Structures are given as structure tokens and as C-alpha cells.
Structure 1
Amino acid sequence: MSDRPVVLAVAAADMEAEAYRGYCLESVAAAYDIVLITSEEPSWEVPFIRDCVVVPDPTDQAALSAAGRALADRYDLAGVFTWTEWYLVPVARLARQLGLPTTAPEVMQACRNKGTARSLFARHGVPSAASLSVRTRQEAQAAAERIGYPIVLKPAAHAASIGVIRVDTPEQLPAAYEFAAGAAVLGTESTSVLVEEYLDGPEVSVECVTYQGETTVIAVTRKTVSTPPYFEELAHSVDASDPLLGVVAPAARAAIGALGITDGVSHVEMRLVDGRPRLVEVNGRIAGDMIGHLVRLATGIDLPRAAADIACDRAPDLTPTRCSAAAIHLIYPETSGTLTALHFDGPRPPWLKRISFQRSVGDRLLLPPEGDMFSARIGFLITTGASADDARRRGQEALGALTLDVAPHNRADQDTGADSVV
């Protein structure tokens, strides 16, 4: 029998899980025995876990709680946590039911509902965006006139930029509202649409760790997003010595404090408007898109391990052991279509840390507005360097050795099936 502490992880089992969250499970398994609740029979997770209970829908609180109690009967659980956005509130409730450490479920609900978060930011003086919650196109039109164009429409309780769209004129609003509302109906904390002021400036995220009410700012992630009207994230980079850290840290701490987060890892998104931070949202979990892995490559700080430590009421080790940079380039086609060729023919220098494909030849790829990041993304590659510029440059070099062909769906308008990468 192992004498290591046992932590319960609740995690999604979709097709992206291994590629984008496998590093989290591997990291935590180095220090803890993991028992897992997930929605499908485990496969790639098996080497990292001690036990598993399958719950087809972990957002079903009764089913999740029953599974959690069953595992608590088998093991002396030290903590429970999740890195899956949709499970934040149910897992916080489960932790409370089991008497385990957690940020309050009500706080997690505020993180999940962007409208509630905006209200809390305003109440606590955290710089954010003007925002109004609406339920009809007519309400959206009135809100847009009040705020002033350009505006952003977004679901109040979704994630991954799904359903988020910029609107520059009143003529664009009807179709844009339908796009946002179509995604909003899938929200579990709210089905409303937000009409918001467009924050014009570069987008960054701030990766933070909070333990017993004290927040440590770990790293800043610089982002590359798609051209309007959509907000697909195309690339991220983390530099341990980024001068923006001092600029964004106070706003990140203020946002976490305004929401009432007491414990856990947070991914705080903001834009720099005229050089000053304006809050977009706070995600109460480790960032997606391998950002936590970039943080470790650049700083040596292990965010998944920190999340598990905090869930078990242990002080996390946040001591930097590296000072470098890392970048991820997310691979999309330039047009929707069928993937006809995909292979990497280049060398594998030490700075090319990972290449991962989630799509195969023959798969259909759908960009917005017909699809989203889950239906369009092909994969990613990760590079390192002495600086973020160096890591990004190497990423472009690696992309040059990638063969990616897409046959557009509307062949009548296309002369060739060849497509380039973004």
C-alpha cells in the first residue's frame, strides 16, 4: 500500500484531454495517489491513477456527489480539485460535502458567470468593461446603443472564446446576437448574453496561485488572437522575466480578491488599454492550451502540483528554478474544409519540445461561425528560447516544416485544396 496522500481529481474525458491536460495528471501523480472521476472509462489516464469512478455527466451534482462519497469511503481523501471549467462549481460543492478544503461554491459560481464577475469588479473598483446582460435581440440592440459601438457579445457562462464576437455596426448585430445566443443556451450557470464595451489593446493572461487568501502572481502569458470579429486564440508565450509582470500583478490580485477566491490556481484574462490593465474575466482553474506547461518550462513552477497541494491544504512550492521562455502555436486551417494531408518533416531540435495533432486526414474542420476551436483546431507545437521572441521565432521555423492541406467545403469558390497554417 502507498503511504502517499490521496487526492481526488475530477476531469473531462473528451478527445482533447490527453493532449492538453495529460501533463497535469502526470505532474500530480509524481507526488500523490490520484483517484479520478471522469465521464468515460479511463485509457491514457491508467498509468497515473489508483482508482476511478465513471460519471457520465460530472455536472450532475447528485451523481458526482455519490461518486465522491464512494471514493471517500474507500480512501482517506486529502483533497479534491479540477482543472475542467465546467466542473468548477460541482467540485467545490463536492469538496464542501466531504469536508475538504475549497474556495466557496458561490465564489466559483461568480467566476463562471461573467455578468456576476463584472458586478463584483465594479463594486470593488477593479478596472473592467462596461457590460449589460440581455436575453433578447431587442435588449441587445438597446444595450449596444447605450454602450456604443464597437461592442462584444458573449455568453455569460461559457469558455474558450466560444460564442464571443465583435460587432462594429448596428447592421451586424442581429446575426452576431444569434451566434452568441446559440452558445449561451449551453451555459450551466447562466444562459444570458452579455453586451460589453470592446477593450482595444493587446490581450494577456496572468497565472496566479492563491493559498489561504494570499495571492502570488506567477507569470504573464502574452496572446495572439484571430482577426475580428472572432477571438480564437492562436498562440501564447510565457517569459519568466516579462516586464509586464509588475504592470498586471496588482489588477490580477484585485480581481481575485473582488471575487472572493481564497484558494487555488487562477487564470486571469485582461487587455491592456492605453497600457493599463482592464479585466476580461477570471477562470478559477489552471489555464488551458498548455499554458501551465509553458509556465513550468519558463519558470520551473509546477501549477498542477500547486493546485493539488492547495486542495489538500498544503502550502505550494512557488520557488522559480528557471528563467527562460516558452511558446505554443495552435494550428488552425485558414478555411473550413476536409483535412487531406498532415505531417511534420522537419528536424527535432532540443528547443522543439512537443508536436501534437488532434486531427487525422479525412476529418472535417469547421471554423467560426459554423464551428469553434473544438471543431477547427488541428493541433499545436511548443518551443522554448532565451526570450519570448526567440521561442516564437523558433515556433515559426518549426511551422515551416509542417505539411497541412485542406480541401475547402465550397470547392466552387476555390481553385485548389491546398491551405496554409495559422
Structure 2
Amino acid sequence: MARALIILGGTMMGSGLLYVQAAQRLGLEPITLSDDPTRYDHFAAKGAETIRVDTDDLDALIRECSRLRATYDIAGITSARDAFYATASKLCRHFDLPGPNPEAIEQCLDKYTQRQLLAASRVPIPAYRLAANVAEVEASAAEIGLPVIVKPAVGSGSVGVRLCRTPDELVEHTTYLLGGQHIWQSSPRILVEEFAQGPSYGIDIMGDQIIGISTGDCGPPPHFVYRSSTYPAPLTDGEHERIVDVSLSCLRALGLGWGPTGIECAWTTRGPVVIEVNPRLHGSPTPQMVRLAYGVDLITEHVKLVIGDECDLRRRHSHTATARYLVADRDGTLDWIAGDSQAAAVSGVAEVKWYVQPKTPIVRKGDYRDCLGHVIAVSSSLLRSEAILQRAVDLVHWSITPLKTIVESDSKNSKLT
């Protein structure tokens, strides 16, 4: 009987395919359960079975996994996305498979509950308030002081997150969140937070072991769309120690410590301040950058943990990986992309990847979905990696025809007929 890895739900920016490939390298049959398998046709193209099932229905998932057990030896169940990770952990518990504590995962995914637990353990975090309507958001912002971050209490990928600098921006964004345009993952609750200003860092953890720390830059406010990242972050020994101490405090406060954890923090005048803790790996291309920098394949090691095998988190080498995200600068239709083959051929370039294809409609959201792709470079030093990356990025080009131009063109064509 073949051993199978169940991958629940879709994934952000390509991590799902990495899980499929890791499972196959370990001799497992990857099976994806999704409410819409057509969104993940690339899984099937790589030899992964995809099955349609309501991923919000735990009983339906249990029935499907029970059915699969007649054909497969289910070695493990996991997910790469926040929205499904708590459910995956419940399935692990039901089928007596290795997995994290579902209660710890659920309380971590609720950012308000997470804030309360971190505050109770004296972990440095931004000032915060919970609000349910415009009046409460305005009152919370007045208490904290503008500018503030306004975001859903449950969510990921910076979806619905905005920096509000004026009272008008507060009302505008709150009205947007509550007006039916934003898709809520839970009951509508809004978190209003102090804007923790300073360099941003990402901490990657497996179990209770700090794997590494990266740094990244976001695009211009009011949104938080990553433009670049570096692994490892250039830190002094003292800065590294303080970030590690705060990160381990997060694990203790939230009851985490099994499997992956991704922490985001900002270095402010108070030192490292925790922006959020995610009970999963950071999304692609972070796992690729960790592998390039240290020789540690976090996704493969996570899968090994999920199926009950022993992890190997030893560093094989020490390089510097840098990435640039290719971000849409306008709405419209992606007409063409070029130069990716030339960029990939540059010595030291590890990966050039597009998330979209030509003729794709582009509607910017101010979150991770604005990224069209990424380029990664690696070398023995930060300066050399940055130079390689810039050379490669300069070779990549694309064109987006604005929606207004498309509408005008269609209008002219209709008059000619």
C-alpha cells in the first residue's frame, strides 16, 4: 500500500508545489484536498492527485481521509496556509498522526487573542485595540494615536491591512472592510494597532530551533507589499540575540514549538517589537532562500516531521540569498513578459519565477496578490548577491495595458463595425 501525504487547501505563491515535490522526493504520494481543485491544476501536472471536498467541513474531510485510507497508508496530513492549518492539525489528532496542538494553532491565528497572550507574557508588541465598527475604530485610533494599522483580526498575506494616517483614511478603510468587498475568514472584527516603525525581520523556526533571520523591504504606504528580502539579515551579535530571545518568548506564550513558526518583527526605538506570529512556514520564496543560504530544506524537513521521521536542521554552508519581488505597478492586462530566460542565465541567479501568465487580468489589491513573480540570487557575500540580483532584475521586463486604454480601444473598434 502506497504511503500518502495529504495537503489540505491551496497555497500562497507556490509553496504548495514545493510540498508536492518534497513529498515525492521522500517516496510519498501527494494528495491535495481542495474546495476548488481547478485552481491548482499545476499539482496534477506534477503527478499529484487532487480531490474536491469542502475544506470548511471537518466531518467531510474526515470522511474523505477515511475513504483514502482504503487505498493509501496516510503517513501525514498538513497544509501550508493559515486558513487550513488548524483544520489539518485537527485531522492529525483524529487520525492519531503527528501534528501541532489545534488549540494553540487556533488561538495564534486569531490576532487579537495572539496579542492578548503575548502581552500577558510581556512580549514587546504594538499597542492595540479591537473594534467592530467605524466609531470604535476612530476611538481606538484616538487612544493609540495616528498613524495606525487597521486590519482584520483573522487573515494573512497583508489582505485588508492598511496604514491609516488621517481620520478620513480610517473611515474609508473601515467602510471598505465592513462594506462587503472584503472576504472575512471569521466574524468581522477589526484590529487597530500602533504603527511600529523600523526595519522589518522575519524569523524562521522549526520546533524550538531558530533556523535563521531575514530582512525585507515593503513598497510605499499605505499598503505592505514586499519588494525585496535578504537571507540572512545583516545583524550584530547583540541584535541577533535580542531577536532570538523575543522569538522564543513568543513560542512559550502561544504554546507553540511543534513544527514550523514564522515570526515578523520590526526593530523600533524599543528594540524588536513583534508584529505577528504565524504557526507555519513563511511563504515562497523564503523556503528557497533558506535552502540557498544554509542548505536546509525547511519544507522537506517539515514533511519529515509530519510523517514521524527525524528532522535534520544542520546547516551545510553559509551563503547570502537575496530576492526581488516583481510587483505590478498598475491595473490592466498583463500583455507580455520578457527577459526571464536571460536573467535565469546570469551566474549566481538561483531562480526566476512568474506567478502569472500573459493575458492575465491584473487588479492590484495592496497585498501579496500584487506580486507577479520573483528573482533570487545567491553568493558568498551580501554585496555580490545584491549586484547579481540587480543585473538579473534589469533584464526582466513586462507590459500591463491599463484598463482605461483597453476600454477606449474596444470603444473605437465598436464604432468601426
TM over 0.5: yes
Q: Percent identity?
A: 22
Q: Tell me if the contact between 2:320 and 2:382 (Cα under 8 Å) persists in the aligned partners.
A: yes
Give 1:185 shift. 5.6
**Counterpart position of 1:419:** none
Give 1:182 shift. 5.8
Q: Which has the larger share of helix?
A: 2
**Counterpart position of 2:183:** 186
Query: Which of 149, 152, 156 is equivalent to 2:153?
Result: 156
**Cα deviations across residues 127-158 of structure 1 (Å, max 9, x unaligned)?**
11111111101110111111111110011111
Q: Tell me if the contact between 1:219 and 1:245 (Cα under 8 Å) persists in the aligned partners.
A: no
Query: Which of 129, 132, 137 is equivalent to 1:132?
Result: 129
**Cα deviations across residues 297-324 of structure 1 (Å, max 9, x unaligned)?**
1001111122122223333111000100
Q: Tell me if the contact between 1:301 and 1:319 (Cα under 8 Å) persists in the aligned partners.
A: yes
Give 1:360 shift. 3.0
Query: Which of 86, 91, 95 is equivalent to 1:94?
Result: 91
Q: Is 1:378 aligned to 2:372, yes or no?
A: yes
Q: How far apart in 1 are the matches of 2:136 and 2:270?
A: 32
Q: Where do 5+ consecutive residues of structure 2 fail to align?
A: 407-417
Q: Tell me if the contact between 2:176 and 2:182 (Cα under 8 Å) persists in the aligned partners.
A: no
**Counterpart position of 1:299:** 294
Moved more, 113-122 or 278-287: 278-287
Query: Which of 5, 9, 14 is equivalent to 1:12?
Result: 9
Query: Which of 342, 349, 354 is equivalent to 2:351?
Result: 354
CA 1:199–1:315 in 2, change beyond 3 Å: closer, same or farther? same
Give 1:7 shift. 4.9
Q: Tell me if the contact between 1:199 and 1:273 (Cα under 8 Å) persists in the aligned partners.
A: yes
Q: SS of the residue aligned with 2:342?
A: coil
**Cα deviations across residues 272-318 of structure 1 (Å, max 9, x unaligned)?**
11261111111111111320111011001111122122223333111
CA 1:274–1:31 in 2, change beyond 3 Å: closer, same or farther? same
Q: Tell me if the contact between 2:22 and 2:303 (Cα under 8 Å) persists in the aligned partners.
A: no
Query: Which of 85, 106, 109 is equivalent to 1:109?
Result: 106
Q: SS of the residue aligned with 1:172?
A: helix
TM-score (norm 2): 0.88
CA 1:326–1:80 in 2, change beyond 3 Å: closer, same or farther? same
CA 1:69–1:188 in 2, change beyond 3 Å: closer, same or farther? farther
Q: How far apart in 2 are the matches of 1:90 and 1:118?
A: 22
Matches within 5 A, 1:213-228: 215-228=208-221
Q: Tell me if the contact between 1:81 and 1:307 (Cα under 8 Å) persists in the aligned partners.
A: no
**Counterpart position of 1:310:** 305
CA 1:190–1:10 in 2, change beyond 3 Å: closer, same or farther? farther
Q: Tell me if the contact between 1:92 and 1:105 (Cα under 8 Å) persists in the aligned partners.
A: yes
Q: SS of the residue aligned with 1:166?
A: strand
**Cα deviations across residues 35-64 of structure 1 (Å, max 9, x unaligned)?**
413221675435866x74613432322222
Q: How far apart in 2 are the matches of 1:266 and 1:159?
A: 14
Q: Tell me if the contact between 2:346 and 2:388 (Cα under 8 Å) persists in the aligned partners.
A: no
Matches within 5 A, 1:323-402: 323-344=318-339, 346=342, 348-368=345-365, 372-374=367-369, 376-402=370-396
RMSD: 2.6
- Counterpart of 2:151, as a letter, is K
Q: Where do 5+ consecutive residues of structure 1 fail to align?
A: 413-422
Give 1:10 shift. 1.7
Q: Is 1:45 aligned to 2:43, yes or no?
A: yes
Q: Tell me if the contact between 2:160 and 2:177 (Cα under 8 Å) persists in the aligned partners.
A: yes
CA 1:136–1:27 in 2, change beyond 3 Å: closer, same or farther? same
Q: SS of the residue aligned with 1:378?
A: strand
**Counterpart position of 2:412:** none
Number of equivalenced pairs: 400
Q: SS of the residue aligned with 2:357?
A: coil
